[in-house]
Chain A
Amino acid sequence: MGEMPGLSRRTFVFGSVAVAGGVAFGQYGQAQQAPSSAAATNPLMADLGPQSVTFNPWVEISPEKITLIAQHADKGQGVGSIQPLMIAEELDLEPNQFEIRFAGPSPAYFNTGFAHELAPFMAPDQSPEAEKARAAALEWLRKAGLQMTGGSSAIPDTYEKLRMAGAIARETLKAAAATRSGVPAADLRTEAGNVILPNGTKIPYVALSADAAKITPVSVDKLRDPSQWRILGKPMERLDIRSKVTGEMKFGIDRTMDGMVYAAVKLNPNKGQPIKSYDASKAQSMPGVQKILKVSNGIAVIATNSWYAMQAAELVDCVWEPSKYPAEQADHWKTVASSFTPQFLAKEWRNDGNIDTGLKDGTLIEAEYRAPYVGHQPLEPLNGIGIVTDKGMEIWVGHQTPQSVQYIAATAIGMKPEQVTFHNEWMGGSFGHRLEFENIRVLAEIANQMRGTPVKLVFSREEDFLQDIPRQIAMGRCRGSVKDGRIVAADLKVAATAPFKELLARMGSPSKDPDGQLGVGIWNVYYDIPNYQATSFEVQGLSPSTTWRSVGASANGFFTESFIDELIHAAGLDPLTARIEMCRIPIYRKLLETVGEMAEWKGPLGRGKGRGVAFVESFGTAVAEIVEVTMTDAGIRIDKVWVAADVGKIVDPVNFQNLVQGGVVWGLGHAMNCELTYAKGAVQQTNYNHHESMRMYQCPVIEVRGLENDFTVRGIGEPPVPPAAPALANAIFAATGKRIREMPFNKFVDFA
């Protein structure tokens, strides 16, 4: 396939083909210090035991056991299971024949999955220029060596490389067995952790480790066809399910260490600002309290257990340096509203046809949309264990960017990143929270004052809310026109704080480029609208913001798909049929048709019921959703949601369904019920009673269908989120005639 059907090149090429940093990836400072060939080295070599072998950074075999390395961190999305299983598929291991270990920091684990997101071409574009740009982006990523879990990239990153890692290990073990047995490798086969000779003799892999270590890993040029898969692509049990049901699973917060002390903190809720002074006299005499320490942005209490520490921290009177951003929420919105000016222009992402002429040609529709700050608030609060000695720091913490943990911790205590030894943990959720560093920085500062003693830090829920760097605040100003039953023009302008760009700066890799996330959801829109403009403005001087499950598209998708719905209604069209007819990408049209079939869409329902549809592509994965609501005496009830998503290849179908359902709940729950607002420089919501998201009683039935038409393998962690809010808003409009243009929706309607 060459050009995109029905689209001119011009629509797809933005700026030059030179890509590095083109979508605000910045210069990855720390990693650049690594030798350029580092990606080719294997970090497992460093600690390899005697008689042991490692074939690549993902497989290690000793005489006792087989260890498979999970390079992407597991925050609940299931990659702690599927990564080793992708290796096991080719290595011919059964799920109970290996141990799983999370990767330490190394450029060998650079994330190839970001290449598509980096290249400034739309996801469905398979033109040579697009592929060339992706290849260039991949090369840049290889050099940068950035190891990061995020951006729904785990499966795109690992789908080939982990199966290849398994295949190379298998073939090398066969070569070792061939040498030992004198039987040609071609006559050997592998099954369940054994190399099997033609006479049926089994040689366990672990018995071959020493021999295999002596030979160069065999190169493999072909992976097994999916039709031969034993494990992948079929319903399977996630390897972490049982331990999570029996309570045996140890999350970071569950780890203990001999001689450890417990810490709790009270930090300046004016984010980024230091503490001025404090009075700990009341806290000092509390039971269990051992010490009260000052850290740069607050205080820490050291106690004999977490509860004592939290109780005492509450009682420390602190005087804070005031915020640099506006103290009151209304002023945040004023700043956003005043940012639609050339001074704050980040990027004009698209300018198709002639927007000025188009807007004059037909009935003009204008609307303003808002998306507030929202919290991440995974149920496991921020925590970590750290021990600092004169030599360095060792830290145990669940995090999505190991190298940045080293950088942040080292910087906080005047050490070098390589002096920080990082151990990842199973995480009780993240949603973007564990890409940030509030716990890392303060843990390093505390442990540095307690040299030689392991310190376990647990944030109270209230502290976690107060320090949670929220989703970007965003406003959409939309104009469009309709004429003769057609959408003639759409002009989408978004002003927002820059979540990913800010995160990069905090990671020590500032970028001068516009934040690509501000464009997602307004530029990658696939409708046939002759005059189309998409522009983002970067809001300055507000609360720090960061990536929140689905990032830019979580706000922009709501704006675009709600406003397109307004235009469709103004044009007198059916919301689903119009989208299908306007959609230029055949496989995306198929998704809209599929979701329509699933819901048996036949137009308006009447009798207090309404349905809304939305379609958003984010991180390359297109998702179509239909939401059905009913007006009840108690308020609006969401009855059902239908979802069709295309990831090219589904490797774990049960988990795929679970993640899609969870993404819909995430998208709906926050759109309905959540915002974070500032007063006196601090967030006003400090526990779940103020920020409920969705609970069981509001959760609809969610029917999921996965398609496999896309040309490459895509992720599913985030993409189901963005269509949920607009599909719900569109359903509420269909049921009530009321158009909701601001999240959370519960400010405007009651939900049952």
Chain B
Amino acid sequence: MSRKTNLIPLLIVVGLIVSTASGAAEPNVPDVQTIVTKANIMAYYQGDDGKAKVRMTITTKSGQTREREFIILRKDVADGGDQNYFVYFQRPADVRQMVYMVKKHAGANEDDDRWLFLPALNLVRRIAAGDKRTSFVGSDFVYEDVSGRSLDLDTHELIETTPERFIVKNVPKNPDQVEFSYYNVAIDRKTYMPMKMEYFDKEGKLYRTIESTEVKEIDGFPTVTKSVVTDLKTGGKTEMAFNDVQYNIGIGDIFEERYLQGPPREATR
């Protein structure tokens, strides 16, 4: 009995040596910082700007569905750094023509600036910086999934290399701020596109996954056109489909109050 238990640390050590060796044995494996930096650019910073029509389908455990439709415009201030987002809602009817605007600050301890425009009241409201791990418009996606999580918030470790993917383990530097203990990201070795994310809770149990289920090349940029988040605890899932994706369309200075009250043409169709 005692022998068996003694074997476990040994196995772990061997496993570590093997996995490190397999990593080292590959001639073209960049260091983990390069991998996560490239993956971050791939997922959130392609081109100087971008536009997509997004359709979200939220499905509860019992099978009830809700839909969200919005047009999202993004413009980078700096690659891998600050960005601006403009989200124009089309459905459901009660949030139609509402606009959500974010000036994202990429610094680890910098809060984003956020605005909401409520058309019925013609009201431009400033929203307090929020917990980025809260649900985005009632879906299983959280704010951070939509606009990215600062790389500086986690430590990164390349834990596995397969012929197709790098598996990177990300551990939060400040565990009190998040609901997970760590998450693994499977990154496509060719494109550096994050293909699957797995979140583990404080007990080390897998409770949430995000998968890129469809990737297409658009304007020369590999683009996730469908992704699904599954919450294993609640049994809910949300599918997000991106249509009419465009890059480098020359989005101007639309991230201002003027365009909250009167959205620019590119935001509305």
A pairs with B: no
Q: Which residues of B contact A (CB under 8 A)?
A: none
Q: Which residues of A contact B (CB under 8 A)?
A: none
